[in-house]
Amino acid sequence: MTKYIDTKITDKETEHSLPVLDGTMGPSAVDIQTLYTNEDMLAFDPGFRSTASCKSAITYVDGDEGVLLYRGYPIEELAEKSTFEEVAYLLMYGELPSETEYAQFTDTLGDLSLLHDQVLSFYRGFRRDAHPMAIMVGVVGALSAFYHDRMDMSDPEQRELAAYRLVGKMPMIAAASHTYHIGRPIRYPRKVLGYAENFVQMMFGKPHVEYEIDPILVRALDRILILHADHEQNASTSTVRLTASSGANPFACMAAGIASLWGPAHGGANEAVLDMLTDIGRVENIPDAVARAKDKKDPFRLMGFGHRVYKNFDPRATVIQQSAKEVLNHLGLDDPLLEIAMRLEEIALEDEYFIERKLYPNVDFYSGIVLRAMGVPTNMFTAIFALARTVGWVSHWLELTAEPHGIDRPRQLYVGPTLRHYPK
């Protein structure tokens, strides 16, 4: 007889009740920690669709209502009124910084934005055509070799220093992944510049000519960084938390997060969106692409559509769609891929298949258009996502390491061979 779990499980001898935990917002959670001990039974949830892996106070997502809050503040308000540095402080510390706190925060990030000169030699070990994400996974993981002296994670000060080093150095690591790839000298950050501004000058600046920073593009990038900074327990953040639970050092944890983000179903989607739009090529080819996306025999998916949590519009997509139009107008660009994107969105949103499955454009659908308009090469899109999400990963890492609960170790429903012995 199948036993169903609800707030009480009963069997012949004993009866156990499972407490229901309430958060400050969103769904409650049935606390099943005693399930295995008391009932010798596991909960089965392979995609974690119905599983809360932890308690967190950082980001709240309501997929049905299309709501995203960073420490309680709506993403739309932060994208319009805040800066990435201020959002980074908010995610890491839980409150918006005072003027003094903001000045100290940005000053420390600036002081720690330089890479150890020997780290730069790692870049030369990569083939020139290495994907920037491959370089970032390697270089970020290798930072453990440079800061092993200050790696006592039970010390809050050393945890904070590691967090600052990661957030501070990521722009140079990401930008250097691009300049190395194209054979241009790696550039250094300038402390006088803001976070997004510095990344832009390290990405696009050349040693032999003065680089004029376009404030409109910097603002667009700053907004993209804000929108991508955190997103509760997504695959890469959960990877960081699982890695951190074993006590691995913060640089190894972030390298694991970068590796997970790289997948096309996750952070790699923005690059995949551009590749898809390029393959579609013309508005006339959209119906065929939509038909392929609906065909179960065809592995093709509409990149940039759908989301594990959002079954409504991704609020970030709405903000980025506006950014895409602003940047293209500012640059006087008439990007045919944006036209294909807008038409594809229209067609998909009218199609029963997408409506029925609540498949809406997600943040990645438009971010690639903005980045492409800014002259960012497609293979750098996910690297920029990683640059932004480092703040989220670091914030979750700080939250977990402040109150470590021991190693995370999921179980399984075993469906393999039963006991058998080696033939004599």
Q: From the list 167, 293, 320, 400, which residue makes contact with ligand SDX (rule: CB under 6 A)?
A: 293
**Of the listed pieces 11-19, 70-78, 148-156, 299-307, which binds ligand SDX according to CB under 6 A?**
299-307
- d(CA 273, CA 366) in angstroms, rounded, equals 8
Shortest approach of ligand SDX to residue 266 CB, angstroms?
4
Shortest approach of ligand SDX to residue 297 CB, angstroms?
12
| Residue 383 binds to ligand SDX (criterion: CB under 6 A) | no
Shortest approach of ligand SDX to residue 14 CB, angstroms?
37
Q: From the list 122, 195, 199, 305, which residue makes contact with ligand SDX (rule: CB under 6 A)?
A: 305
Q: From the list 266, 289, 327, 366, which residue makes contact with ligand SDX (rule: CB under 6 A)?
A: 266
Centre a 10 Å sphere on the Cβ of residue 21 and count the other Cβ atoms it contains: 11
Closest CA to 26 of 266, 233, 286: 233
| Residue 362 binds to ligand SDX (criterion: CB under 6 A) | yes
| Residue 308 binds to ligand SDX (criterion: CB under 6 A) | yes
Closest CA to 266 of 306, 218, 206, 209: 306
Q: From the list 355, 357, 404, 407, which residue makes contact with ligand SDX (rule: CB under 6 A)?
A: 357
| Residue 301 binds to ligand SDX (criterion: CB under 6 A) | yes
| Residue 241 binds to ligand SDX (criterion: CB under 6 A) | no
- d(CA 165, CA 249) in angstroms, rounded, equals 13
Say which of 178, 228, 364, 396 is annotated catalytic: 364
| Residue 359 binds to ligand SDX (criterion: CB under 6 A) | yes
- What amino acid occupies position 186? I
In the complex, residue closest to ligand SDX by CB: 306
Q: What is the DSSP pairing of strand 67-70 with strand 73-74? A: antiparallel
Residue 322, CA distances (Å) to 76, 283, 369, 384 in order: 12, 21, 11, 19
| Residue 269 binds to ligand SDX (criterion: CB under 6 A) | yes
DSSP per-residue letters across 83-146: -HHHHHHHHHHSSPPPHHHHHHHHHHHHHT-SPPGGGHHHHHTS-TT--HHHHHHHHHHHGGGT
Is 351 considered catalytic here?
Answer: no
**Of the listed pieces 86-94, 160-168, 193-201, 358-366, which binds ligand SDX according to CB under 6 A?**
358-366
Shortest approach of ligand SDX to residue 134 CB, angstroms?
19
Phi/psi at 64 (5° precision): -75, -35
Residue 53, CA distances (Å) to 250, 344, 413 in order: 20, 36, 18
Say which of 181, 266, 314, 396 is annotated catalytic: 266
CA angle 194, 195, 198 (to 5 degrees): 80
Shortest approach of ligand SDX to residue 316 CB, angstroms?
8
Centre a 10 Å sphere on the Cβ of residue 155 and count the other Cβ atoms it contains: 11
Q: From the list 250, 257, 306, 368, which residue makes contact with ligand SDX (rule: CB under 6 A)?
A: 306
CA 255 to chain centre: 13
Shortest approach of ligand SDX to residue 358 CB, angstroms?
8
Is 231 considered catalytic here?
Answer: no
Q: What is the DSSP pairing of strand 8-10 with strand 15-17? A: antiparallel
| CB half-sphere exposure, 252, CA atoms < 13 A | 14
**Of the listed pieces 106-114, 147-155, 193-201, 359-367, which binds ligand SDX according to CB under 6 A?**
359-367
Is 266 considered catalytic here?
Answer: yes
| Residue 364 binds to ligand SDX (criterion: CB under 6 A) | yes
Number of residues lying near ligand SDX (CB under 6 A): 21
| Residue 191 binds to ligand SDX (criterion: CB under 6 A) | no
CA 292 to chain centre: 28
* DSSP 8-state class, residue 150: G
- d(CA 103, CA 82) in angstroms, rounded, equals 15
Shortest approach of ligand SDX to residue 109 CB, angstroms?
23
**Of the listed pieces 151-159, 176-184, 259-267, 402-410, which binds ligand SDX according to CB under 6 A?**
259-267
Shortest approach of ligand SDX to residue 200 CB, angstroms?
22
Q: 223 with 206: CB under 8 angstroms? A: no
Q: Which residues are catalytic?
A: 266, 307, 364
Contact footprint for ligand SDX (CB under 6 A): 231, 234, 265-267, 269, 293, 301-309, 357, 359, 362-364
